[in-house]
Structure 1
Amino acid sequence: MTRPLNILAFAGSTRNESLNKKLAVLASETAETAGAVHVTWADLRDYPIPLYDGDYEEQFGLPPAALKLRSLLQSHDALLIASPEYNGFPSPLLKNTLDWLSRPFNNEERHVVFKDKPVLLLAATRGEAGGRRGLAQLRLLLGNLKAASFEQEFVLPKGNEALDALGRLRDPDQQRQLADVVTAFVGHVRERQSVTA
């Protein structure tokens, strides 16, 4: 019997009404309908991490919130990240979080928490492009961190109109597209799991 997959999901935004939070939660629920999948939701607001500062790190080490999130990341098989787009790039919050998580700890390899970790990328914006430019930059960053970004992604243009008051997609075609991408990702992670078992 295949053990359950554990996926860690978060959004690169702390706003209460963040479109990307809503999209990440929706994708998480979709993943759990695939069966034998447990998704842990992490709100980055609960992990306040200072801007990366080498002097801070040298004096104090990794911030407690970064260590908590790092431990959570290590205990999961895969990541689901929904990223806002700021001027064509991922949010500073997300970049800073990933920078801290990539730092070495207890003589471990620098990128050990990300190495070969499957990642599903999502984005929602109010504009027409849906966050695709930001995801291209995020994909490059994750490649530098040795993560394994899934080739498929889901972008949601005009997310403020596409999501209803309950955070559900109004358009059945978009519902199917999200379900297809998430299901394909879960299948991909299961295949990797069976190869390494």
Structure 2
Amino acid sequence: MKVLCLSGSARAASFNTALLEVAAAELAARDIDVMRIAPSDLRALPLMDQDLESASGLPEQARALKASFHAADGIVWACPEYNGSVTPLLKNVIDWVSRPDDALPAPACFQRRPMALLAASPGGLGGLRGLRHVREILGNLSAMVVPRQFALAKAGDAFDAQGALRDSKNQEAVAGVMDDLLFWMQAIHGKG
């Protein structure tokens, strides 16, 4: 099975990207093929613009992103929260991947695809408010967003120097979300 991992933060020292790496390590330990999309690749994606799309079709970066989504049996999103909602980078990814093209129709990258949500924030709620919006957007695209999610509060103190979570309860929570993702991947795709 293949799982695509991506972070909605382009910040070099992103807590969300660090949390995503914890999840990716959890998956790799279970012999899951982990695919990553670098934040720099997401930054290169132009702002979703239907005039641009009409004039020249989907940009190459959007086509490559759609192909990565389509190749994955499941997806893990690390979702920063801006003003209680979705980051522009994350929303731009969703908007481009949901666009139709000759190779992949609009719902092909989301429909019946299990997705897991994580968030990290230096605040007390860990980005929890933004996860509600991401869940709603992905649900509208017919994604199967797994019920369990994890929001890491006080993320500035949560990681050790090697990037591991200091608190074993937080590690268990990430592992639990990955358990749910793998359960739904097995249920939907019959793999594993």
Q: Provide the TM-score with structure 1 as the length reference.
A: 0.92
Alignment of 1:60-71 (within 5 A): 60-71=56-67
Is this contact kept in 2: 1:83–1:124, CA < 8 A? yes
* Map of 2:37 onto structure 1: 42
Check if 1:72 corresponds to 2:68.
yes
Partner of residue 115, structure 1: 111
Within the alignment, does 1:97 sit opposite 2:129 as a pair? no
Count, aligned residues = 191
- Tell me the equivalent position of 2:16: 20
Alignment partner, residue 174 of structure 1: 170
Between the aligned partners of 2:143 and 2:39, the Cα distance in structure 1 is 20
| Paired residue type of 2:40 | R
The change in CA–CA distance for 1:38 and 1:130 in structure 2 (over 3 A counts) is same
Q: Deviations over 1:65-99 (max 9, x none)?
A: 11111111111101000000000111110001110
Aligned partners of 2:87, 2:161: CA distance in 1, in Å? 24
CA distance, structure 2, for counterparts of residue 108 and residue 75 of structure 1: 11
Superposed CA RMSD in Å reads: 1.6
State the Cα deviation string for residues 31-64 of structure 1 (Å, max 9, x = none): 12223x1111111312411111111110011111
* Matched-pair contact (CA < 8 Å) for 2:121–2:153: yes
| Unaligned runs of at least 5 residues, structure 1 | none
| Letter in structure 2 aligned against 1:45 | S
Q: Which contiguous aligned blocks of 4+ residues in structure 1 show a shift greater than 3 angstroms?
A: none
Shift of 1:112: 1.6
Query: 2:129: which partner in 1?
Result: 133
The amino acid that maps onto 2:35 is T
Give distance in 2, aligned partners of 1:70 and 1:77.
13
Percent identity (aligned)? 36
Find the partner of 2:50 among 49, 54, 78: 54
Q: What is the deviation of 1:192?
A: 2.2
Quote the offset at 1:107 in angstroms: 7.3
Distance (Å, rounded) in 2 between the aligned partners of 1:175 and 1:103:
35
**SS of 1:152 mapped into structure 2:** coil
SS at match of 1:71: helix
Shift of 1:176: 1.6
In structure 2, distance between residues paired with 1:154 and 1:107: 34
Taking structure 2 as the reference length, what is the TM-score of the superposition? 0.94
Distance 2:107 2:185 in 1: 20
